[in-house]
Structure 1
């Protein structure tokens, strides 16, 4: 008889038992890895179906992306940030004096420096990243990334009067000279047009923001000078509104009549496409219903060539700040408005610092300013005609059409 006791069968340890058999330090390491995986899965599953491919790509968590940017050459820095380093340095210096920037004293979690704040804001508006991705990239919480973008946006809006302003004096003379050199039209201060900023459909009055292209948007109306700088912006009107209705509801429309002598000095004007009316301060193109004369068609060609500046400005603006193609996370319209206006301010700062992405500069002829003054007097010699008819007759008399 065999008296040996049979060996006890050892059951394999479950995954839970193996985890708790690990030292505490290793358990913490495993937890951190699991949490990161869960966050990535959550971010991927919660992304809107409308988000672009770049928004669905998750940035790995970084500890010193700021240092990586600092170590880049000037060319690489511009390629990634879409701004020259000197422009970013200037903006950081200005922002560091902002009264709402948190100081670096105190205890607990370290404060986000002004430089990192500017880097985060620029990266957000220059790309289509989500706030979670932005936080991962710069090593901060998602809520902190959101707060930084809002804070920098508010700062730029607070200094908008310094950078978005109607030309006067020497600036007025320079911009009319540059417009005159394009197609010999005297007295042009700027070009006006509208562009749409894509948004998610808001909860309130959703149908008002549904535009003719069957997407949701808010309208940005802008007047730009010959250097592609914004000199007046109106933002926040629903995407369903026609360009003319946006103009009629804008402060510019009221000011142009109320402060006409101050803004246009009785001689100057802005130009817009055929969607706009013709007024003593606004010259639009002829509406083409197939019955225009050859001279009127030639007028429209010259008019369009001069007006091309505003189209180029919008292309430069959205090409540099790609977030403005569409807001896929933000739903608060006031927040979106602040970000868009802040981008307009930054656009003008870039132009002021010769940061134009390869835009060409036009050299001015010293004799042009004297010639323009004479041409403006001739252009406005017949006060019985409206401004467009005066301009039409002027161009025909000078064999330009």
Structure 2
């Protein structure tokens, strides 16, 4: 054996010390072996110094959280009670395939992945703090949240769907009982207008701005009237505050009327609204939307008659349900106060997932009450365009019943 220099002997001793360490995997030993043969002696110390360090985290057992937390405490942290969490785990588990353990790091259970995602959506905390709390790396926490959010988004056809004809009848009755807005049987039995079967309210429509982190080159497009960068969420809800339709992704600078016109809902309604409203139902929306036979808006506040003013009041009382729904949504999922992700596509997925979870919780009787004193999306832009003649006639008939 040749005589090594002092530096070589010292580095070989240091390498032997690393090789004795049981925490290093076999792949690390192989890579280090080839690196130390390929690089000069003066760089060997740098290679050894760049070995992966083990970050300390307090080990926490998520099973203890589930079994020991009261429903009230669990709700504070995850914005749903434990029974709802178990149902959500079952629903998500049906969409995922369980991976087999093939060595390396242990597979994180699905229950823990859902808890990490719920904490992220409910608290709006950074992934750094979440990774420290749940004893995972930051990259793993990001991968988990995006994976579970994608799965939740795939459940949208199940939990956010347009009502059928039978459901519309019940929804219209609920609106009339809770909001006392006329619309059911506004035509007399002897009237010759029975072929104009636009009768009942089955939803309220509005838009909501979700403040997001937007790439610098797109700041102008996504700047709303409050000079914030936001993505618009268009939602339709019923009196029980369930979403029946959502459209997410339009920039905050886009007008509500244009969002409706370019959304899937607007395209279907303009071509054949009978498929959604069955020839008799309609939505209520604010003055930013166009007046249509399937969408009743208030009268303009310029020189209106007392009867029309009374209609606007009843219309506002009915439409406020969508504002309350947006308030419940933002109150439960605090991530919507500011969505801090690096792509617009991921922000859209987060907003969509929150809407789906909102419906999921309400369908399981997991209700989160919040006081909403004013709308967070007060539209000051009145729609200026061609009015629908049938819509104007229908609105006048509704006003006459007040």
Q: Which TM-score applies when normalising by structure 2?
A: 0.75
- Distance, in Å, in 2 between the alignment partners of 1:72 and 1:128 is 21
Q: CA deviation at 1:254?
A: 0.5
Aligned with residue 262 of structure 2, among 249, 252, 256: 249
1:208 and 2:204 correspond: no
Q: CA deviation at 1:257?
A: 2.1
Q: Which residue does 1:67 correspond to in 2?
A: 64
Say which SS state the counterpart of residue 217 (structure 2) adopts.
coil
Where does the alignment leave 5 or more consecutive residues of structure 1 unmatched? 1-23, 29-33, 38-59, 360-383
The equivalences for 1:145-160 within 5 A come to 145-160=141-156
Q: Is the Cα contact below 8 Å between 2:328 and 2:369 reproduced in 1? A: no
Q: CA deviation at 1:104?
A: 4.7
- Distance, in Å, in 2 between the alignment partners of 1:125 and 1:342 is 9
CA RMSD of aligned residues (A): 2.5
Q: Is the Cα contact below 8 Å between 1:299 and 1:392 reproduced in 2? A: no
Q: Which residue does 2:191 correspond to in 1?
A: none
Q: Is the Cα contact below 8 Å between 2:361 and 2:367 reproduced in 1? A: yes
Q: Which residue does 2:251 correspond to in 1?
A: 238
The equivalences for 1:158-307 within 5 A come to 158-181=154-177, 182-186=179-183, 187-289=200-302, 291-307=303-319
For residues 38-74 of structure 1, what are the alpha-carbon distances to aligned partners after superposition, in whole Å with 9 as ceiling and x for unaligned?
xxxxxxxxxxxxxxxxxxxxxx845224523431012
Say which SS state the counterpart of residue 155 (structure 1) adopts.
helix
Q: Is the Cα contact below 8 Å between 1:102 and 1:111 reproduced in 2? A: no
For residues 341-400 of structure 1, what are the alpha-carbon distances to aligned partners after superposition, in whole Å with 9 as ceiling and x for unaligned?
1111111111110111258xxxxxxxxxxxxxxxxxxxxxxxx9533442333342x3x2
For residues 219-250 of structure 1, what are the alpha-carbon distances to aligned partners after superposition, in whole Å with 9 as ceiling and x for unaligned?
00001111111111110000111111211221
- Distance, in Å, in 1 between the alignment partners of 2:284 and 2:260 is 13
For residues 172-228 of structure 1, what are the alpha-carbon distances to aligned partners after superposition, in whole Å with 9 as ceiling and x for unaligned?
111111111122422001000000111123133221011110110000000111111
- Distance, in Å, in 2 between the alignment partners of 1:86 and 1:116 is 15
- Distance, in Å, in 1 between the alignment partners of 2:310 and 2:394 is 15
Aligned with residue 81 of structure 1, among 78, 82, 90: 78
- Structure 1 pair 314–270 and aligned structure 2 pair: CA distance change class (3 A): same
1:115 and 2:111 correspond: yes
- Structure 1 pair 85–262 and aligned structure 2 pair: CA distance change class (3 A): same
Q: CA deviation at 1:107?
A: 1.4
1:344 and 2:348 correspond: no
Q: CA deviation at 1:276?
A: 0.7
Q: CA deviation at 1:327?
A: 1.4
Count of matched residue positions in the alignment of Structure 1 and Structure 2: 322
Say which SS state the counterpart of residue 269 (structure 1) adopts.
strand
For residues 130-158 of structure 1, what are the alpha-carbon distances to aligned partners after superposition, in whole Å with 9 as ceiling and x for unaligned?
11111111111111111111111111111
Larger mean Cα displacement after TM superposition, 70-79 or 206-215: 70-79
- Distance, in Å, in 2 between the alignment partners of 1:309 and 1:70 is 36
